[in-house]
Structure 1
Amino acid sequence: MYSRILRAIYKIENNHVFSAVKKGFTLLIPVLLVGSFALLFLNFPIPVFQKFIAEWAGGVLSTSLHFLFDSTVGFMSIYLVVSISYYYSSEMKERDGFLQVMAMVVSVVCFAASFGAAGGSMELSDLGPVGVFTAMFSSVAATKLFYFFYGKISAAHRFRSRGADVDYRNSLSAIYPLLLCALIFIGMNLTIQTVFKVDNLNDLVTDGIVFLFHNINDGLGAGILYVVVLDILWVFGIHGGNALEQVAQTYLVPNDNAAGVIISKSFLDSYALIGGCGAAICLLAALLIFSKGKDNRQLAYSASGAVLFNINEILVYGLPVVLNPVLIIPFILTPVISLLIAYGFATMGFLPILGRTVTWTTPVLFSGYLSSGSWRGVAVQLVILAAGTGVYAPFVCLAQKVKEQQAKMLLNELTAYFKLVQQEGRDVHLMEQHDSKGLLARNMAEQLRIDVEQERLTMGYQPQYHKEHGLTGAESLLRWRYMDYPVYPPLVVALAKEDGFFDRLTQVVVKTSMKACSELLREGSALTISANISADQMDSEQFINRVIRMAETYGVSGHYCLEVTEESAVDRMEEIPHHISRLKSAGILAAVDDFSMGRTSLMYLQTSSFYAVKLDGRLVQGLLENERNQEIIASIVSLGTNLGFVVMAEYVETEEIREKLESLGCNLYQGYLYSPAVPLERLKEIVKGSQPKK
């Protein structure tokens, strides 16, 4: 049952529309951070500070803060239209950069048309938080319509101009789709004006909400309805405070200075909406206490200053809470519980109601003291904080589990896609994908880079056995985990290559495995530890110099091996033979990994400095069914005898395979028949168990 719920939530959150909206809000986090703190300074509840910013340098500070807020949050809806359209268009089948840009332009045009901009009814305030709902609707609907019309209009009906460049022709081809989209939105707006007698979609929603309060006269009932509607609006991305401004002015603000009247605007701000809508300070506390996700905690730290002053946009749009199926329930429920707690204390006489107006940006605890005139207001807020945090706690934990489940599912999808690309022989560009897989690939690469720089890579060591001598060595294999899930090693390598830190990754792998080799030697275990490098790295003098220095530092001469392989031809890499000789002189062995009878593999044999070759795993896996594989392996073993290198077989998983390899002359084995890759401590136990008892 629980697994089904998680999968259902996963499907909802990864719906193309929901996903694009959430990503669009996430993209705006820097804008919201800057704008929110500008708003905080403008409304900081200390008269001396307000006087300072108003008068300093002739008011330049106040003016700058207003400009900063207006240019960030003040244009939030426009930025949101562009960002949501960008992500939503990336989910379309037509992965064309021109169409993606045009979809964003069309979305902005339709957003303006939905406000009746041509009729002069659009105001500058509509471009800020007021127009968020219309921005979400316009970006999704306009993008979908644009791609639909562009696909339906055949090439024969698009504008053509001989001799014009591609960009010019592409721009002309978007005229009809843009015109049709704009006309549809204009028609929708005219219909709303005619039928509902309001200026636009945004006003229609706002007026409908205000109508709910016409028959509410009871103070507590009006307070609960106000809080519930406010938070529901925020959940759908609508700035609840602005949408309910008329309601607040009519039903709540007049009670601010009325002694003995409990439900007022100041009362709701001080007790039901502490930290902002959704009692955001309770969500903040739950994230800091119960969330294990590093990104959630970082966001909570970033938002903490603003939330203390009841500015909640960073949390609401940053997590986001908007369209979040897990956090919707506590976001709406917590303020209601907070209101009932405060109302209960007030009716019992514990919480004094003085009829004072408290500025909405007054910090938590201070607002409780100022509104009540005593410590009791502070105590009530602390009770609310504890209760609200308790309400949010299980949902924060569930959100974390959902996120982990999402990561697991997405990781499986990304791995499957990567394997498919490998099988088809296509170039791998995972981080350039604009869908969820691309986002995951970029996040993974970022975390991998951090782990590499901090040398926190986890390694496994797969034992290698000789027919007569038993355990002789182990290959060090990367066992990196993302969000505690193991990642397919070739995918890790591909991400490091694509993000440009593959050499650094290899250096850390070599360093870690050399440390392990040194530790084994100190404990009396003379195993040969090996690590994989690419032919490009074997051809790099700088890389080879670094490896030789590390080998000297850790004292692994004679017991360390580099396994080199590369799918591309190595005949242009002239320094490889010289570098292999240098490594041999420094006591570092060299082996050819995934050896077959191809040109690349045979090129390696022009040098006599190789210690071993490892058979291509496909040869070993098909050994029993394919006689040609047997003949190839026998030929490689014969080459080894004549040229002076040993032959090792990987993927030795059954006794039948081992016996057949032995009959062909191959006496070194590595595979699950003996052991998978194990942590270093487990390898030490295997070493002790393999030593003859005295």
Structure 2
Amino acid sequence: MTNESLGPWLRLVHVVERIDRTPYFIAIRRGLALALPLIMTGALALLLRYPSTAGMQQLLTEAFGPRLDDFCDSLLAGTFGIGSLVALYGFTDVLTSLHNQRLGHRVVNPMVAVIVVTSCFFTLVAPTGSDASPLAPLSLGHGLFTALVAASIGCCLFLKLCGYRLFRIPLHNLSNDTLVGDVFTVMPAGMLTILAFAILRAASMWLGWSEWVEALTTQFAISFSKLSNSLLFSISYEAASQVLWLFGIHGPNTLYSVQERVLDPAAHANVAAVASGATPQFIFTYGFFSAFARMGGSGGTLSLILALLLVSRTVRGHKLALFMMVPAVFNVNEPLLFGLPLVLNPVYAIPFVLAPIAQILIAYGAIVAGLMPKASFSVPWTTPALFSGYAVTGSLSGTLVQIVSLAAGAAIYAPFVRVAEYLAGRRGQEVLASLLRIAESPEASVKPKRCLELPGDEGRMAVSLASDLEDALATQKHIFLEYQPQVDLRTGRIFGAEALLRWQHPFLGRVAPPIVVALADDIEEIDRLGLHVLSLACRQRKRWRDVLPDDFVIAVNVSPKQLMNREFYRNVVDILDREHLPPSLLELEITESTMLLPDIEAIENLKNLRKIGVKVALDDFGMGHTSLHYLRELPLDTVKIDRSLADVSPGSVNEHIVKSIAELSGTLNLSLVVEGVENERQLSRLSALGCGRFQGYFFSRPLSADVCLEFVLAANRENRFAA
């Protein structure tokens, strides 16, 4: 494709991305996701309540007795029956939290906002007639749209009023209880918000809004009746149903009067015609839409699952598809509608409407061309796809048309799956970058939980990554090492390599090592991670013993918490013994910028390791105020100058610091390595200051084990780095 042809598509992606990242749509996604456990349980109850065949119905009745229906109805009442209320709760909580995050402090307690908005919702939908069901507005099928509208208006109004001093009560010493104080502070704003909804309800009743809606629906059905059994009718009906679903309104249920006036009579007429040996007259029946336009449920969502399995590049996409497949095969699509979600999702709006219309056109074309009989048999709506095509037409050609329709729907959904993953990946990288800045900040290093207790997206990603890191450590997958060579210009040889931690996350790609270390620290897995890295490095150095000289050292970073573990010395010795590696080939690097004053246990571990031949290096030297203290207290072999000091211009502060460190290292008989050397100018200046050993991109980036070995052998053979 040319740049010109990609232009409109990229503009569309950017528009969708801006919409998708607004607080409103973020709150919608998270609010609906909160109801997912209920939805999955309700989907199972639906499958048991409405089995796809009479034989299955009989089997279930014989196995569980006649009370199975009551059991399923109870499950549905406790899941789908309160789904809209749960979505309202989640939406309000997330929107309020995002509002507080944007302002930089907690203006409104999310729990208080939830209570206010819940009251607004019930004020708006409370039944007035004696026959009205008080639970109907709480269900996903009947009340979700109203719940989201009430939450949107109520929460926005409440947060807006809370921003005015006039509607806030100053705290002073009103209460020692924080929650009570939060409630009293915003009480005037809450009362005004609820009162506004009461006035709105009274106005709607005075205007006869419910009668207007009922009249509009009836007129809508009459209009569709005039288009009965035409292609225009079928496309208009399905498009209207899908658009309603996009806004959280159960399309088929809302348009039930159309089904009652048009589709059901046509289906009965076709069944009667077949029974009498006549030719069925109608193409578009309820069975036609169930079998050919709603495979997997409204939106042809079985095609979306197929697209996820075929084109998704992430483990998450595949797992999501497999997880949703079982209910979707039986045409229960609520888990996808509210779990992905598809409701109010700008990314999937186009294919959600377009896919079933394309499937209607394919089935219609097959019937008109005489390739498939008309839908002339009645089957339950939970009849599985592929079998339903045969059952409703009485012909295998129905199944073949379903296969073609599924493929067409998957082709329509496929590019939007890629767009969704692209947007999710971009957002994920942005949050990762923010998380990296936090993990590397000096303030974070003194907190007991550097990442897990963060607010907003960073905190959520940290919790998710922590769980994934635990899995990666348990399976020992996706965690590996790269090696960055260390060069001695005085001999012209590469004398060692630093082993660098890498984590290839299945969905997010490379996760920066500072994040991995911070997360491992937070979940108290830093010892396990450190020993795994040490074991990998020693194993690799053992593999190199026959091809690299005996003085080639492998350097491994060690965290402060590892050193303070009294078992650390024993663990290192066990790894060296297991890998049959001489201690002199291992160097442990202590990160000076993150280590507090060493305690007795840490010093004892280092002294014992140094006695058996393990080398000790002080990393990031010159960055902390305790640098000289470490030189006096720790048993060291090497000092590594931090990369921030590598840029030494004539007369600069860095130049004086590096020169002093070089002289001090020589006096103390310590090896000196400068990190972060990126160009020849830096190298020349550092060499002039007395530095002889270096590490950085000027010589080599971190390399995989095999590539590093080839690089070292070639460089030493060619004497590439001779002064």
Is TM-score (shorter-chain normalized) higher than 0.5? yes
Alignment partner, residue 619 of structure 1 = 645
Deviations, residues 416-453 of structure 1 (Å, cap 9, x unaligned): 5666x558988574443443333333333333333333
Alignment partner, residue 32 of structure 1 = 39
Q: Using the aligned pairs only, state the percent identity.
A: 29
Alignment partner, residue 113 of structure 1 = 123
Q: 1:655 to 1:693 in 2, by over 3 A?
A: closer
CA distance in 2, matches of 1:68, 1:52: 20
One-letter code of the match for 1:580? L
Matching of residues 265-284 of structure 1 within 5 Å: 265-284=286-305
Worse overlay, 642-651 or 443-452: 443-452
Shift of 1:675: 1.9
In the alignment, does 2:243 pair up with 1:240? no
Is the 8 Å Cα contact of residues 378 and 392 (structure 2) preserved in structure 1? yes
Q: 1:354 to 1:16 in 2, by over 3 A?
A: closer
Deviations, residues 631-671 of structure 1 (Å, cap 9, x unaligned): 43344334333433212211223334333333433322112
The SS at the match of 2:367 is helix
TM-score (norm 1): 0.91
CA distance in 1, matches of 2:688, 2:533: 35
Shift of 1:474: 1.1
Worse overlay, 310-319 or 561-570: 561-570
Alignment partner, residue 524 of structure 2 = 500
In the alignment, does 2:65 pair up with 1:41? no
CA distance in 1, matches of 2:168, 2:295: 60
TM-score (norm 2): 0.88
Worse overlay, 134-143 or 183-192: 183-192
Provide structure 2 residue ranges, at least 5 long, that are not aligned to the other structure. 1-6, 271-279
Worse overlay, 660-669 or 332-341: 660-669
One-letter code of the match for 2:429? K
Q: 1:57 to 1:372 in 2, by over 3 A?
A: closer
Q: Specify which of 213, 223, 227 is matched with residue 238 of structure 2.
A: 227
Is the 8 Å Cα contact of residues 464 and 475 (structure 1) preserved in structure 2? yes
In the alignment, does 2:147 pair up with 1:135? yes
Is the 8 Å Cα contact of residues 476 and 531 (structure 1) preserved in structure 2? yes
What value does the CA root-mean-square deviation take over the aligned residues? 3.0
Q: Specify which of 283, 287, 291 is matched with residue 312 of structure 2.
A: 291
One-letter code of the match for 1:657? Q
CA distance in 1, matches of 2:174, 2:456: 36
CA distance in 2, matches of 1:26, 1:453: 28
One-letter code of the match for 1:475? E
One-letter code of the match for 1:194? W
How many residues matched?
Answer: 691
CA distance in 2, matches of 1:205, 1:579: 80
Alignment partner, residue 603 of structure 2 = 577
Alignment partner, residue 515 of structure 1 = 539
In the alignment, does 2:473 pair up with 1:452? yes
The SS at the match of 2:109 is helix
Q: Specify which of 321, 326, 330 is matched with residue 351 of structure 2.
A: 330
Provide structure 1 residue ranges, at least 5 long, that are not aligned to the other structure. none
Matching of residues 409-420 of structure 1 within 5 Å: 409-415=430-436
Alignment partner, residue 660 of structure 1 = 685
Q: Specify which of 258, 265, 270 is matched with residue 269 of structure 2.
A: 258
Q: 1:69 to 1:155 in 2, by over 3 A?
A: closer
The SS at the match of 1:226 is helix
Alignment partner, residue 692 of structure 1 = 717
Q: 1:195 to 1:12 in 2, by over 3 A?
A: same
Shift of 1:132: 1.0
Alignment partner, residue 497 of structure 2 = 474
Matching of residues 596-675 of structure 1 within 5 Å: 596=622, 598=624, 600-607=626-633, 609-621=635-647, 623-675=648-700
Shift of 1:219: 3.6
One-letter code of the match for 1:99? N
One-letter code of the match for 1:186? A
Shift of 1:43: 0.5
Alignment partner, residue 106 of structure 2 = 96
Deviations, residues 76-105 of structure 1 (Å, cap 9, x unaligned): 000100111111111113543961111111
Is the 8 Å Cα contact of residues 592 and 613 (structure 1) preserved in structure 2? yes
CA distance in 1, matches of 2:472, 2:349: 34
Q: 1:498 to 1:626 in 2, by over 3 A?
A: farther
Is the 8 Å Cα contact of residues 158 and 190 (structure 2) preserved in structure 1? yes
Shift of 1:628: 4.4
Alignment partner, residue 705 of structure 2 = 680
CA distance in 2, matches of 1:208, 1:553: 81
Q: 1:415 to 1:571 in 2, by over 3 A?
A: closer
The SS at the match of 2:639 is strand
Q: Specify which of 506, 515, 519 is matched with residue 491 of structure 1.
A: 515
One-letter code of the match for 2:35? L
Is the 8 Å Cα contact of residues 570 and 603 (structure 1) preserved in structure 2? no
Q: 1:425 to 1:610 in 2, by over 3 A?
A: closer
Deviations, residues 87-138 of structure 1 (Å, cap 9, x unaligned): 1111113543961111111221112122144677563122112111112222
Q: Specify which of 424, 429, 434 is matched with residue 408 of structure 1.
A: 429
Q: 1:69 to 1:583 in 2, by over 3 A?
A: same
Q: Specify which of 373, 377, 390 is matched with residue 356 of structure 1.
A: 377
In the alignment, does 2:182 pair up with 1:170? yes
Is the 8 Å Cα contact of residues 613 and 646 (structure 1) preserved in structure 2? yes
Alignment partner, residue 190 of structure 1 = 202
Shift of 1:678: 2.0
Q: Specify which of 74, 77, 80 is matched with residue 81 of structure 2.
A: 74
Shift of 1:612: 0.8
Q: 1:205 to 1:674 in 2, by over 3 A?
A: farther
Is the 8 Å Cα contact of residues 255 and 355 (structure 1) preserved in structure 2? no
Alignment partner, residue 342 of structure 1 = 363
One-letter code of the match for 1:687? V
